A and B are shown apart, each in its own frame.
Chain A
Amino acid sequence: MAVIQVMNLNKTYKQKLKKVTALNNMSFKVEKGQICGFLGPNGAGKSTTLKIMMDLIRADSGKVLINGIESTRTDSRKKVGFMPENPPYIDSLTGRELLLFSAKMHNIDYQKEKKRADELLEMLELSGSADKKLRNYSKGMIQRIGFASTLIIEPDLLILDEPMSGLDPIGRYKFKNILKEVKNSGTTIFFSSHIIADIEDICNSVIIVKDGRVIKQLTQKDMKSMAIEGYRILVPKDVKIKEIEKVERLEDGLQVMYVKRELLNKTIHDLKGVDIISIEPVKKSLEAIFVKEIEQN
């Protein structure tokens, strides 16, 4: 069964005079055990969808089921960790207090929660500032402590809104590794982002939205098959082989040869005795798909 089922959501924000349609019949599913990316340009309605999932705002029509329970019911949020964008935590708490508070809200045993809090602080490299007030945290630190507070409840499902914004490159790298670990322990992860590389790196499936609608959904299979189209092989200039699609001459006496995926073995065989400098896989990038879809719509 799908962990998240979003069914025909519509939402129009009414401001004083003008109305903004944020969601326009948004529907999709997220399967169990995946890392699913929620991708879309600014104002596509990603945050709006996530807020409706957490029942912070109410859809005009349509509904969301989480583990089969309607999101308007509180028990749909059992074992669900949520981190909003630029997470607003009560800033008079310290980092450790925030973790313990989250744990309490999910009725986690006191001894266990203390131990787990220390582990998480360690893991996210916040041990040093654990007892500082959140109002003195930097943006990246808030992001990390927020992430820790979603992990302390031992979630089955993580819903994260732009979890990597504000993280430095090393922070991103580590964060992605943690996400993978968490996924491997059986947790489903659904997160929004507009950084394609991040999604490409770790996601099993991707939902692309624009103007409040899903315009493309890439399943696990799509993601896999979109993987490697061919290879770039860097060799010295004087090497010549038949059946090569395209050759590009570089300076310094080098040239690049493009080969289709299925021809790689044969080509390497043909190149026996040649000094191969490097072989790189060529992917059809998510970026290309994304840009194409966005422009088409």
Chain B
Amino acid sequence: MIKYLTFAVSLLLMIAFMPHFSEVMQQRASLVKLGFVPKGELYKAVVGSFRWFEGEYYTFRSIVYYGSKVKAVMKRRYNEIEYYNLYQTLKAAIILNPYNEDAYYFAQAALAWDARQVKAAIKLLEYVYKYRPWDFQIPFFLGFDYGYFLHDYKKAGEYYRDAANLTHASLFVNLAAKYLYEGGDTESAIIYLKYMISQTRNKNIKKIYQKRLNALLKVEFLQKAVEKYKTKFGKKPASLKELIDAGIIEKIPEDPYGGRFYITKNGKIETTSKLAEGWRHGSNTSNEFK
């Protein structure tokens, strides 16, 4: 009978076709687009009790989207990433469901460092903090953002103290103390990244952190060498090469971001790659998100 024949033939063709099909679909996957998400406030009113799931769904979508863009992030081709839409999506996600940990966690991860939309990240974090006052992670992130990026050490210290009060972990007590007296940027960034790595389940995003942590560990290594040089010779080294000449280090490590390390006038280690400050160099959105 024709029907059975049609069925059998098309089934066989289908089986033969599927591998090709999924391959072509894979090519399309790299084109994942986030697109626009309507304003969270508006949405919240419309979707009713679906808002919770809706919020989680947007977070999920953001994470999958960002995960698919890891290559671009690692290569610092930031203009390939729709940071603005990412911000909007996350914001909608947070407004729909401010209790969702993933949402603010991921907002911090993607926005604060990669996109350098620190103020936007802080705004979202502070919003969530109202709903999750028990959560030490939020003041921890806030402290880090204020200290490391905005150099607002007073605020940073306050938030770290909040975090310390919530967990009683010595880590935060130290950080709080540190920020109240001096700006230990590199060290706090290393602590922060180690924490983020330990908390991240998404392998791709972990890679981004790992790379950054590597760079920072090298900065720290050089910074320590500079300190050693100072105690030994009583003056700052003029260049990194002097560290080798003095036998303190064997060679200058490589910046994973492809830059070159150097010493500033006041003895700080910096790199020409600006440690993945790439967004400022390449992104299409140069003003802060609103």
A and B in direct contact, judged by CB atoms within 8 A: no
Q: Give B residues with C-beta under 8 Å from A.
A: none
Residues of A within 8 A of B (CB): none
